Amino acid sequence: MNYQSTRGADSGVTAARAIVKGLAGDRGLFVPDEIPRLDAGDLAFLSSCNYLDAAKLIFERYLEDFSLAQIDECVEGAYYDTFDSAEVAPLVKLDEDTRVLELWHGPTCAFKDLALQVLPRLTTAAAAISGEQNEIVILVATSGDTGKAALEGFRDVPGTSIVVLYPQDGVSAVQKQQMVTQEGENVRVLAIRGNFDDAQNAVKGIFMDDALAGRLLARKKRLGSANSINWGRLLPQIVYYARTAAQLTAPGAAAAGSAVDFVVPTGNFGNILAAWYAKQMGAPVGRLICASNENDVLTEFLTTGIYDRRRPFHKTLSPSMDILVSSNLERLLYELSGRDSALIRGLMQQLETGGRYEVPDSLKAGIRRDFCAGCCDDAGTQAAIRDAWQRYHYLMDTHTAVAYSVLNALRGREGTKRPTVIASTASPFKFPAGVLCSIAGGDAAAGLSEYRVLDRLSAVTGWPVPDPIAGLEHRAVRHTAVCDAADISAAVEAAIG
Ligand SMILES: *Cc1c(COP(=O)(O)O)cnc(C)c1O
């Protein structure tokens, strides 16, 4: 099976090439030529196997040019013993109809680990398969979680190196400490005097700089992307949706013979799109509920068919969802339009020049069939954290709480409770101030450093601070480079070496 671009000019690309390239040559996103189907035997297997075997089954269907031995090696390297739960992504029951899929038991305590632990391994295997002779240099601009998860994933992976740029004053103290203490021989971390957009724009500029690409090739290096537009990041996320849906609908399970809804706290639309692929494969997935914070561009789009990024940008308690342009949506539009690349090129052009597009009615119907959407503000987020704590003694982070809030509102409107899984995307200790204030009162974190907030949250709840975050305060700083926004390109080239 090959891959094709959503914009129509790059097709017949092998899985290995699609993963090495990241973005298609016409700036579209790669999708598989056809979506493989799971039969009854596959679903029975997924309902009872362990996480690693589930990952192997799903990967084999999409990575036909990889050998089974290569897939085994990628999966085992990524998930065997790197998560603090043997389940990898444990499912926690709140009540008969409501479960939480905890996607944050990896080395950085956020769901991006599920993909970024395996992407580097897929990248090296893909480089070998496609005859790539050059070292792959991963370049990432981050506003928080992605950078650290990518550093952890790529550290000391042969044939790769990684450079991460972050805004000096634009990430939390814990996030910054996580990055500047990063270990590994092939990692570089650069602070930027500027904001996230400066870092992001610099990275885009570097990717389009043909002269720089030429100089790098002369040194046997090629730039690669760990961004969520890479198919190698989406694929690993399909695994936990297919497996969870199969488990909960197996004979004797909570939703036996039926289907399971998922509610997903959404930013770039990558995580929820993986759930959609699981459903297209034939996994017993019901509705996909897209949950947004005050940045509600997706709520509006999924209910009206109009995407309009011309709106104020809100900084919220769930910063990983503070996004106005959700790049992975392009894949869904492509699939739902019957793979109409001309339509996609037009829509993306309108978004770039006018900041807005509206999709045709047939596409709106496709969206309504699979999706519903809702949003909540910071007050709603905090009320949700309080509610889950009081009702279930379950501590959720601010992103997960957005999903829980949206689910409760939907159930209130509908007056029914369908079996639903909440995708939990971060440990409550990843964004501790918002969580602590929700359960202990508005000023509970006042005057405390982020580290003391962690201690307080642990004391108030009796939940331990996860290992990757505990002890961070005293870890040795290894990366101190800072550069001006104007000098990023030169600094990156120097860092690449
Ligand atoms: C990245 C992230 C999200 C958003 O996921 P998308 O795939 O971009 O929709 C939600 N929550 C947390 C904690 C994240 O790090």
Cα of 397 from ligand 1 centre, angstroms: 12
Q: Quick one: pLDDT at residue 299?
A: 98
Residue 187 pLDDT level (bands cut at 50, 70, 90): very high
Residue 174 pLDDT level (bands cut at 50, 70, 90): confident
pLDDT at 197 > cutoff 80 = no
The per-residue pLDDT for range 376-404, each reduced to its tens digit, is 999 999 999 999 999 999 999 999 999 99
Of 136-140, 273-277, 485-489, which gets the smallest average pLDDT?
A: 485-489
Mean pLDDT of the chain: 94
Q: Pocket around ligand 1: residues whose beta carbon is below 6 Å from it?
A: 110-112, 145, 228, 265-271, 320-321, 399, 425-426
Residue 282 pLDDT level (bands cut at 50, 70, 90): very high
Ligand 1 binding pocket mutation candidate from 231, 266, 398 (most atoms within 8 A of CB): 266
Crossing angle of helices 173-180 and 145-154, in 10° steps, is 20
**Exposed, middle or buried, 387 (CB in 10 Å: 0-12/13-18/19+)?**
middle
Report the alpha-carbon distance of residue 296 to residue 310 in Å, rounded: 12
Confirm if 238 and 58 have CB atoms less than 8 A apart.
yes
Is the Cα dihedral 246, 35, 157, 475 positive or negative?
negative
Report the alpha-carbon distance of residue 243 to residue 259 in Å, rounded: 12
Which residue's CA lies nearest to atom 14 of ligand 1? 320
Concatenating the DSSP letter of every residue in 269-333 gives SHHHHHHHHHHHTT--EEEEEEEE-S--HHHHHHHHSEEE--S-----S-GGG--S--TTHHHHH
Instruction: Report, in this order, helix, strand and coil percent for the chain, each rounded to 5.
Output: 45, 15, 35
Q: Quick one: pLDDT at residue 142?
A: 85
Mean pLDDT over 312-317 rounds to 91
pLDDT at 303 > cutoff 80 = yes
What's 144's DSSP letter? S
Q: Quick one: pLDDT at residue 475?
A: 92
Ligand 1 binding pocket mutation candidate from 142, 235, 271, 402 (most atoms within 8 A of CB): 271
Closest CA relative to residue 432, chosen from 464, 393, 391, 408: 464
pLDDT at 473 > cutoff 80 = yes
Ligand 1 binding pocket mutation candidate from 295, 399, 424 (most atoms within 8 A of CB): 399
Tokens of 341: 């690349």
Concatenating the DSSP letter of every residue in 324-359 gives S--TTHHHHHHHHTTS-HHHHHHHHHHHHHHSEEE-
Mean pLDDT over 37-48 rounds to 98
Mean pLDDT over 481-496 rounds to 90
Report the alpha-carbon distance of residue 61 to residue 235 in Å, rounded: 10
The per-residue pLDDT for range 327-374, each reduced to its tens digit, is 899 999 999 999 999 999 999 999 999 999 999 999 999 999 999 999
Concatenating the DSSP letter of every residue in 225-272 gives --STTSHHHHHHHHHHHHHHHHHHHSTTSTTTTS-EEEEEE-SSSHHH
The per-residue pLDDT for range 201-245, each reduced to its tens digit, is 888 888 888 899 999 999 999 998 888 889 999 999 999 999 999
Is 325 or 340 the better-scoring residue by pLDDT? 340
Q: Quick one: pLDDT at residue 330?
A: 96
pLDDT at 143 > cutoff 80 = no
With a pLDDT cut of 90, the percent of the chain lying above it is 83
Catalytic residue annotation: 112
Mean pLDDT over 423-434 rounds to 95
Give the pairing type, strands 371-375 and 420-424.
Answer: unpaired
Give the pairing type, strands 356-358 and 306-308.
Answer: antiparallel
Q: Quick one: pLDDT at residue 458?
A: 97
Q: Quick one: pLDDT at residue 478?
A: 96
Report the alpha-carbon distance of residue 63 to residue 1 in Å, rounded: 8
Cα of 212 from ligand 1 centre, angstroms: 31
Q: Quick one: pLDDT at residue 72?
A: 98
The per-residue pLDDT for range 80-121, each reduced to its tens digit, is 999 999 999 999 999 999 999 999 999 999 999 999 999 999
Residue 141 pLDDT level (bands cut at 50, 70, 90): confident
Mean pLDDT over 319-328 rounds to 88
Torsion of CA 332, 15, 122, 118, to 10 degrees: 20
Cα of 112 from ligand 1 centre, angstroms: 7
* Ligand 1 atom index nearest CA of 270: 7
Closest CA relative to residue 330, chosen from 340, 322, 320: 340
